[in-house]
Chain A
Amino acid sequence: MPNAAPLETDVAIETPEHIVFRYRVAGPARRGLAHLLDLLICYSALAVLGAIVLLAASAGGVLGADPESLAHAGAGVLLVALFFVQWVYFVVAESVWGRSPGKAALGVRVVTAEGRPIGFAHAALRNLLRAADSLPVGYALGVAFMAGTRRFQRLGDLVAGTLVVHTSDHARAEPIRLWPPARPDELAALPERVGLDPEERAAIELFLRRRGRLGALREAELARMVAPALGRRFDYRHPDPARMLALLYDRAVNAGREEAPPSSRGASPGAAWR
């Protein structure tokens, strides 16, 4: 839970609006997969180009041109393409879109250490330094550097001052609702104030969100591990431990809060609850 206890792999970015948000840094496994995907894309394209060159050369041979010289010209084109694959592909993709196609597929992108999109110099430096990171074999040095730095930076990232982060595309989740609503007898016994610390809240929340997907027995089993301790603390008892957690959570989260004032959409949205 980023808002409870920041994970080690989070970086906080402060915007010019003085809002702090967090990026989750991508680890070696995901980045390795993204790289494999990029290699696959590049070398498939190269293979297709090779096939075209081969076909063109043999077609030219049929039409009477010297097939050997055609093959030589084609090989020259292929060598230039190989250069582009090795040195240019990443620089161009990352300076234009901030991520290579492989990174996009795995949901990561490159940002500067300040959380901004990268430019050409960043992209050029971090990708030139691949030559050093890939030593001695298979990015061993790069992975070693990622293990040794707090934000998973390989040499190229350190030199360019960049990070690879998850693009956060969280679907919006509905807030948890107490259902069915609390009965009067449940409310009567419920304490006025339920003080939960953020970790407890997060744990109960996680449980309540997964309730529907757990079996009934497993649900009760999990709830019984927590409910009695909380019950003793707040001096509250309920026959159903899962329901008891839901009630306590609802009281902790919503007690004392207003419902929203009647909707007046469109008119100065942010100002209503200053």
Chain B
Amino acid sequence: MALASAPNERAFAARRERDWSTLEGIVRIAEQRGPKRLRPADVHALPSLYRDVCGDLSRAQAARYSAPLIDYLQGLTAQSHTVLYGAHAAGPSAEARADAPSWATAFPVAVRRHWRAMALATLLFFVPFFLGLMAALAEPHFAFRVVPEAMLRPLTESYQQGFAAGRASADDTLMTGFYVNNNVGIALRCFALGIFGGLGSAVTLVQNGLFTGAVLGYVGSQGAGLNIVTFIVGHGTFELGAIVLAGGAGLAMGWSVVSPGERTRLASLQSVARDVVVIVAGAAVMLFIAALIEGFWSSSSVPTPVKLVVGGVNFALVLAYLALAGRGARGRRGGRAA
């Protein structure tokens, strides 16, 4: 029987405590200063010390030593497990990493894999957008139902002035900060709220589509249409595209709960969320680009035709990137379109 052959707790602890404190010291350094700061000798000693402590823990459990000793060994095992199997080691295997597309191609690949969700998100944004645009062009007062009048009037005045004068660079910084905070926040929230069966994303998309359309329509109805189009065209692809993509990712995540297929709802949710998080990251990067363009280029005094051409080129580039990047290197990978 195990009990009869095991040493008593005091003898066991006295015998092993030197190794335990060595391991404790190594783990403390790794936790506080990072595993890269360990001395070579410590790195060398760590795996075997860890295995010994694992053995000590199971022996202590089998011999039913007192709870504090077992708690201590559990804690030490857990801490060294964290150091040994840390985030740097927890990633995909080298083989999987070689297979996985790089960040730059993972984003468009994931977008294409979830093309149905993306198409739905596009409809959910642009149908209200055109409805709002048409309604506000036909009847400017409609816009006030969607956007507060106090916000629309000064906005319209500023567009009526045009950009010939440019804008002070300090104001560019202010507006860039505002766009980063506001627009990236909207896109990220648009994704997150998709967890509720996609409803949160859908509502956010419709809301923002209607809002943007109404603003555009109202400003157009007041005779500053060309100005606002000139303003928007440079960054619009990035900004509106990113919100649509983030919303599409949210729809895909929501749909994975509603219709999990052969998996449990939780398993389906986790795998789809893992799959679309790269889309959200890509959308965030697009919004940063949009904020920079919007703050420093769209408001500048560059002549209108140049802005229109650059806007068109941006649109073509983004579309080509999403449609083509990463194609051919690998076919469709495992995932399921949502």
Contacts and interface: CB of A to CB of B under 8 A. Distances in A.
A80 B6 CA distance: 62
26 contacts: A2-B71, A69-B171, A73-B169, A76-B172, A76-B177, A79-B177, A83-B180, A109-B82, A117-B86, A159-B273, A168-B79, A170-B71, A170-B72, A173-B68, A175-B8, A175-B10, A175-B13, A175-B65, A175-B69, A254-B9, A257-B3, A258-B5, A259-B8, A270-B55, A273-B7, A273-B59
A111 B78 CA distance: 11
A87 B68 contact: no
Interface stretch (A19-27, A184-192, A212-220, A230-238): A19-27
Contacts of B175: 76
Contacts of B171: 69, 72
A167 B79 contact: yes
B66 A176 contact: yes
B166 interface: no
Interface string B180-201: 1100110011011101100010
Nearest to B17: A172
**Interchain residue pairs A-B with the least CB separation, the first 4:** A79-B177, A76-B177, A168-B75, A260-B11
**Max count, chain B CB within 10 A of own CB: residue among A16, A21, A169:** A21
Interface in A229-274: 253-254, 256-261, 263, 265, 269-270, 272-273
Contact of B266 (A70, A158, A170): A158
A130 B181 contact: no
A23 B78 CA distance: 8
A175 B66 contact: yes
Nearest to B178: A79
Interface string B127-147: 000000000000000000000
A274 to B, nearest CB: 9
Interface string A145-162: 000000000010011110
A174 B66 CA distance: 10
Interface in A104-148: 109, 111-112, 115-119, 121, 124-125, 128-132
A161 B270 contact: yes
**Max count, chain B CB within 10 A of own CB: residue among A124, A172, A254:** A172
B71 A168 contact: yes
A259 B184 CA distance: 66
Interface of B: 3-20, 51-52, 54-59, 61, 63-72, 74-75, 77-79, 81-82, 85-87, 90-91, 168-178, 180-181, 184-185, 188-189, 191-193, 195-196, 200, 253, 266, 269-270, 273-274, 277, 280-281, 295
A269 B77 CA distance: 17
A159 B270 contact: yes
B192 A129 contact: yes
Interface residues of A, number: 80
A177 interface: yes
A86 B176 CA distance: 17
A112 B189 CA distance: 24
Interface string A169-207: 111111111000000000000000000001001100100
